[in-house]
């Protein structure tokens, strides 16, 4: 007969395995969605967004690279309207936290919390970053 401690350990183990499997599956599905996209060049991204003079193509390339590295994606797979709330699904134990990487960039630029809460999409981050890069 199993002790109550052994039963609790078994239940905890099963719940943990199922939980991590679900999280891993969500991350896999999200990564497959992004990886299945056509590649877009930085120049095409720039043209499609019609950025004002506050965003140069060089700054855009730099920001796309930072975001892509944070979430372990090819920069050409990112789109302006990608939401960080959706990109965070790509975070995992294996890859780390892309949001934490981007928060470090915000801290480096002395971004206040109120301003950072308005950064919801890749486009928002690009505009914010390039504006602060120029100043």
- Taking CA atoms, 133 is separated from 54, 98, 128, in Å, by 10, 20, 9
Q: What is the pTM of this model?
A: 0.69
- Residues listed for the chain: 135
pLDDT tens digits along 73-93: 899 999 999 998 888 877 654
CA 76 centroid distance within chain: 14
The CA distance from 109 to 112, in Å, is 9
User: What's the first-to-final CA gap in the chain, in angstroms?
Assistant: 70
What pLDDT is stored for residue 98 in this prediction?
A: 74
Which residues, 6+ apart, have CB-to-CB distance to 92 below 8 Å? 23, 24, 27
What pLDDT is stored for residue 78 in this prediction?
A: 94
Residue 108: pLDDT band (50, 70, 90) is: confident
Mean per-residue pLDDT, 100-105: 78
Q: How many domains is the chain partitioned into structurally? A: 1
What pLDDT is stored for residue 38 in this prediction?
A: 92
Domain that holds residue 103: 4-134
For the CA atoms of 101, 103, 104, 108, the dihedral, rounded to the nearest 10 degrees, stands at 140
pLDDT tens digits along 2-55: 677 766 666 666 565 554 454 454 555 556 667 778 999 999 999 988 887 779
């Amino acid at each position: 007969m199993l002790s109550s401690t052994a039963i609790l350990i078994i239940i905890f183990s099963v719940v943990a395995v199922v939980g991590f499997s679900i999280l891993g599956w969500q991350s896999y599905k999200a990564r497959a969605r992004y990886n299945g996209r056509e590649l877009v060049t930085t120049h095409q991204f720039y043209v499609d967004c019609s950025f004002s003079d506050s965003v140069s193509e060089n700054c855009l390339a730099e920001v796309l690279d930072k975001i892509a590295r944070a979430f372990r994606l090819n920069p050409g797979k990112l789109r302006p309207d990608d939401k960080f709330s959706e990109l965070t699904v790509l975070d995992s134990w294996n890859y780390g936290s892309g949001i934490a990487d981007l928060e470090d960039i915000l801290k480096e630029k002395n971004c206040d919390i109120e301003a950072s809460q308005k950064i919801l999409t890749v486009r928002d981050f690009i505009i914010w970053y390039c504006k602060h890069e120029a100043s």
